[in-house]
Amino acid sequence: MRPFLLAAFTLLTAGPLRAQPSAPAPPALLLRPAAVFDGQTLHPGWAVLTEGDKIKVVGSAAQLTAPAGTRTLELPGLTLVPGLIEGHSHLLLHPYNETSWNDQVLLESEALRVARATAHARATLAAGFTTARDLGSEGAGYADVGLKQAIDRGLIPGPRLLVATRALVATGSYGPKLSADIEVPQGAQEADGVDGLLRAVREQIGKGADIIKVYADYRWGPNEPSRPTFSQDELHLIVQTARSAGRPVVAHAGTPEGMRRATLAGVQTIEHGDGGTLEIFKLMKQRGVALCPTVAAGDAVAQYRGWQKGTGPEPERIQQKRLSMKAALQSGVELAIGGDVGVFTHGDNLREAELLVREYGLTSLQALRGLTSTNARLFQLPDRGQLKPGLLADMVAVSGDPTQDISALRQVKLVVKGGMVVDK
């Protein structure tokens, strides 16, 4: 205790601490592509002027003049779009066909997982995703908070992160699960009841959570179907506690009852929704709750388990997903786009949007809006997702026209984050 008090006294009597030098403002940029997609509409012949980390002017290239000293980037044949927004990722996971989820949680050190996540963040940004919701550290504690801080401070490249830290599960419902005689580290934080949930939600927020994630249903035991975990009152308490601190709640839910309880509690989005019915999706639409269907995760896991896509019969899980997505589109519920990347390879984030277009009925324009302006609106991010004056200068230049072919977003030629060109 005495060394601590001495150190504190030294700090207090040594005078004011010197402020850390701030990074210089990014130079003004004039980007002149073949066309600009502003988050809603494609505009051939437009250009974008940035100042600092914000967009200053968007409009006709012929009428746009740049101040002296502006760096001009000629982008012939390219389409400029807002920085893409990943709706559901896990930077601290890597594909399950490399290492199972259980083994990642139980056998990989946090240092190894953070090192991997650093590479994952770089790959995500290089793929054009300048923002990502990272929905759970999956047994790595609050490492996602540190990862976000390292990105924000310019120590490592990566997207702007919204982190959910440990996530909340009902006691006994999550994993890893080994013998009943063995207590093992869990992939999320167990909490129950009024006191336990209040403490857990507040603890996660205090440690740096931007989002509270709750598992509204899960498998209680091996080879069981998912069943609801938290009661309606518990879910209401989670949402109210988080909302009072300005944080949204997202819910992992795949059963109709789990989805219903989460919707009535007032979550922002429901993740997965595999067993959703037309009735449930209509309720979600009525309550303003969006669905993040994560079709890419189920598609990847089915292939890991032996499904020969395109030749073999579709697994029951894929058939069920097609039924639920048909009901979701019929209901008009809003869709957030996020693939649960980490289940599959980071940097392959576009896989979700491509599947939604090729196999689930969305148009390329709908998917492109989803990855930009719609995700920004659903996630309450008014400073991004569109190319408009005053918003963050997060942009991606790609070959081709992604409003007609969503796969054009794979042809990333330039990434700009906060007015700075990103080295790929």
Asked, for residue 366, whether it belongs to a domain, the answer is no
With bands split at pLDDT 50, 70 and 90, how would you rate the model's confidence at 178? confident
Residues 55 and 153 in one domain: no
pLDDT tens track for 91-108: 999 999 999 999 999 999
Q: What is the pTM of this model?
A: 0.94
pLDDT at residue 13 tops 70? no
User: Token pair 């990943």 is at which residue?
Assistant: 86
- Lookup: tokens for 137: 């550290």
Domain count, the chain: 2
Q: Of the candidates 85, 157, 130, 139, which has an alpha carbon nearest to the alpha carbon of residue 393?
A: 130
Report pLDDT for 223. Answer: 84
- In angstroms, the CA 168 to CA 175 distance is 12
Residues 305 and 189 in one domain: yes
Report pLDDT for 23. Answer: 67
Distances (CA, A) of 163 to 131, 190, 236, 348, 393: 11, 18, 21, 20, 22
Q: Which residues contact 374 (CB under 8 A, 6 or more apart)?
A: 334, 335, 336, 337, 385
Stretch 267-286: mean pLDDT, rounded? 98
pLDDT at residue 366 tops 50? yes
pLDDT at residue 350 tops 60? yes
pLDDT at residue 42 tops 50? yes
Asked, for residue 49, whether it belongs to a domain, the answer is yes
- In angstroms, the CA 105 to CA 118 distance is 17
Stretch 308-325: mean pLDDT, rounded? 94
What strand order describes the sheet that includes 84-89?
84-89, 129-134, 160-163
Amino acid at site 4: F
Asked, for residue 356, whether it belongs to a domain, the answer is no
My answer on whether omega of the bond before 293 falls inside 30° of 0, hence cis, is: no
What range defines the domain where residue 409 resides? 29-83+387-421
Residues 147 and 231 in one domain: yes
Report pLDDT for 418. Answer: 98
- In angstroms, the CA 321 to CA 337 distance is 15
User: Token pair 């498998």 is at which residue?
Assistant: 219
Report pLDDT for 9. Answer: 40
pLDDT at residue 255 tops 50? yes
Lowest mean pLDDT among 143-147, 263-267, 310-314: 310-314
- In angstroms, the CA 227 to CA 248 distance is 23
Residues 54 and 88 in one domain: no
Instruction: Determine how many CB atoms are found less than 10 A away from the CB of residue 10.
Output: 9
pLDDT tens track for 136-164: 999 999 999 999 999 999 999 999 999 99
Asked, for residue 202, whether it belongs to a domain, the answer is yes
Report which DSSP code applies to 423.
P
Q: Which residues contact 391 (CB under 8 A, 6 or more apart)?
A: 54, 55, 383, 384, 385
- Chain mean pLDDT for the chain: 94
Stretch 13-21: mean pLDDT, rounded? 44
My answer on whether omega of the bond before 27 falls inside 30° of 0, hence cis, is: no
pLDDT at residue 423 tops 80? yes
Residues 166 and 59 in one domain: no
Amino acid at site 221: G
pLDDT at residue 277 tops 70? yes
Residues 78 and 92 in one domain: no
Asked, for residue 288, whether it belongs to a domain, the answer is yes
Report pLDDT for 22. Answer: 58
**Are the C-beta atoms of 90 and 340 separated by less than 8 Å?**
yes
- In angstroms, the CA 332 to CA 322 distance is 16
With bands split at pLDDT 50, 70 and 90, how would you rate the model's confidence at 327? very high
Residues 122 and 42 in one domain: no
- In angstroms, the CA 291 to CA 297 distance is 15
Residues 232 and 332 in one domain: yes
Asked, for residue 122, whether it belongs to a domain, the answer is yes
Asked, for residue 325, whether it belongs to a domain, the answer is yes
